[in-house]
Structure 1
Amino acid sequence: MTDQPSSVLVVGATGSIGRRVVAAALLHGLDVRALVRDPARAERVLPGADLVWGDLEETTGLATAVRGVDAIVFTHGGNGSPDQARRIDYGGVANVLAALDGRTPRVALMTSIGVSRRGAYSGSTGQLLDWKRRSERLVRASGAPYTIVRPGWFDNVGPRDERLVLEQTDTGNGGIGRDQLAAVLVRSLLTDSAVDKTFELFAEPGAAPADWEELFAPLTPDGGGELNAAGDPDSLPPLEEEPDAVREDITRLTKR
């Protein structure tokens, strides 16, 4: 059993998912710290959160942001370009984990369906998914207890789609509501059966979950020391085929 967190840092807090995560975490009684680049704007959209300035590309500001928190939720993302995918989607995770300086708080990371379907998407989309997959590998290498959520298409749900479907192998397709996604990210921090698991998340017609331990329990945990998720295909690149910067980041994390 892992210790339940009492405080959480939300990365990407002013985004459409991050705002909902902040609200859900506050409802669960967590002390919420929000990493923001524009505190004046954030005050209007994140009532109840403790705002801390930081930039995912400026590592000096991140040490203050992570100090003392016992959980982190990553909901951030760039504009979809390959460069921002490298610098923000991946680089933001790398820099925050580095700022922890060996501490291992509970982590919830939002990525996307399709991250392990290498070659299924071309151009900038394929490159974006590659960098998100690499950010997952960083979290698994960090030694922190984690949950990695690969959501389906945002808002592609009907009014009766309240049943949450958690799948593995990254072959499914479907939608998920933003509030549903935020709830799962926060609940994963508070639920022992969600630890060290990676899954795709969809919604379909049916009832909302009544027992969160029961929802996460059937999932297969990722193998200890493995960089890939349980059920990911064997065709994903080994570490030695990753870019130099990725190999260096993973080596730095695993040597702590």
Structure 2
Amino acid sequence: MGAFQKGTALWPGGIVPYQPNENHPFWSVILNAINEMNNKTVVKFIERTVQPDYVYFTSENSGNWSITVGKAGGPHQVNIDKNVRSLHELGHVIGLVHEHQRQDRDSHIEVHREFIDSNNEWNINNVINTTEIEYETEYDVHSFMHYWDTAGVSNKVKNKELAKRIATGIATIGISEIKDHVKVNSFLLWTSIALIMSIITTRLPPDDSENRDGYDWSVAVDDPEVNNFGISVFR
């Protein structure tokens, strides 16, 4: 799966409000991607009511893209003008960077820079240093955050990226049952626990307080796939 880069703004609680746009030419495709994200991860895309931070979808003739990686703050534009890769852009919305831009990518794929269109060089040639990765897992050529073999290629030249281990099935359009959704869930659960633990630490009585011994904390996971989670402090 795509990694999370340090400093990326995440959506609080994994809740992402979005503005429905039934006039969008690929709205059904976008909804399918939203449903897949909702059904397979702890992230929940919900229809916007009055939330100031939300995602809206356009269909400008400029490719598929997200205005930024992670939460932009305020209206967050996602452009979909092709009948593919909607799930990939939702990955950027929740904070995922490209899998093929990881520093260890050359151990798994071969990048043919001579075939890359100049307009796409940054999305392929720019490599994110390992020290900038917040949560890194095993490299996944099947991730929905991985470009396919001819993405970004000038004049549709083939063989821009060749998998050394697997020649077919790179960047399957869909969330991998084995890796993608499990890793997204694990990361968001981990960051949520870290945040809540920092809050708990500030609210607990001092170490020398007579009341401190009465406190404890627990993490409650509602189901084995971590589709929902919570944390509680009790006395």
TM range (shorter): 0.3 to 0.5
Q: Which structure has the bigger radius of gyration?
A: 2
Give the alignment's TM-score, normalised by structure 1: 0.30
Between Structure 1 and Structure 2, the one with more helix by share is 1
Give the alignment's TM-score, normalised by structure 2: 0.32
Q: Which has the higher contact order (CA 8 A, sep 6+)?
A: 2
